[in-house]
């Protein structure tokens, strides 16, 4: 009869010992500093530049946009939709045409 209680007690004791051993390991958290490169490149003026600034440079710098090759309008449209659908850019769909107009004006075929 007594050994019915011994087994669970033993399991509990081993589990407790493991917990105590884990708590004894020092978990020292250290702060680190990371200096990210600063972007000095601004979006050039163009139609609806403010809409683009508001929607497109929160996740990455303007260079990400400006250093692309010139693209035709449908390609920019696809790019903006990719930002929205794949990378989850919080874009209001009604701003998309204005953004695409800017991108095509600034980085479209001349």
Minimum CB distance to ligand HEC smaller for 26 or for 93: 93
Q: Long-range contacts of range 51-57, CB-CB < 8 Å, 24 or more positions apart?
A: 51/95, 51/98, 51/99, 51/102, 52/99, 52/102, 52/103, 55/89, 55/91, 55/95, 55/99, 56/83, 56/89, 56/99
Q: Is 14 in the site for ligand HEC (CB under 6 A)?
A: no
In angstroms, what is the minimal distance from the CB of 67 to ligand HEC?
8
Q: Is 92 in the site for ligand HEC (CB under 6 A)?
A: no
Q: Please, are residues 65 and 43 in contact by the beta-carbon 8 Å criterion? A: yes
Q: Is 106 in the site for ligand HEC (CB under 6 A)?
A: no
User: Applying CB under 6 A, which part among 14-22, 28-36, 42-50, 53-61 lies near ligand HEC?
Assistant: 53-61
Q: Which residues bind ligand HEC (CB under 6 A)?
A: 55-56, 58-60, 64-65, 68, 79-80, 82-83, 87-89, 91, 99, 103
């Amino acid at each position: 009869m007594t050994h019915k209680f011994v087994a669970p007690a033993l399991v509990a004791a081993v589990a407790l010992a493991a917990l105590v051993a884990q708590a004894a390991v020092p978990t020292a958290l250290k702060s680190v500093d990371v200096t990210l490169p600063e972007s000095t490149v601004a979006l050039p003026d163009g139609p609806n530049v403010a809409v683009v600034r508001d929607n497109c440079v929160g996740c990455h710098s303007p260079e990400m946009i400006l250093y692309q090759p010139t693209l035709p309008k449908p390609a920019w449209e696809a790019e903006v939709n990719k930002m929205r659908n794949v990378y989850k850019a919080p874009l209001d769909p009604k701003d998309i045409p204005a953004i695409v107009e800017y991108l095509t004006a600034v980085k479209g075929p001349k």
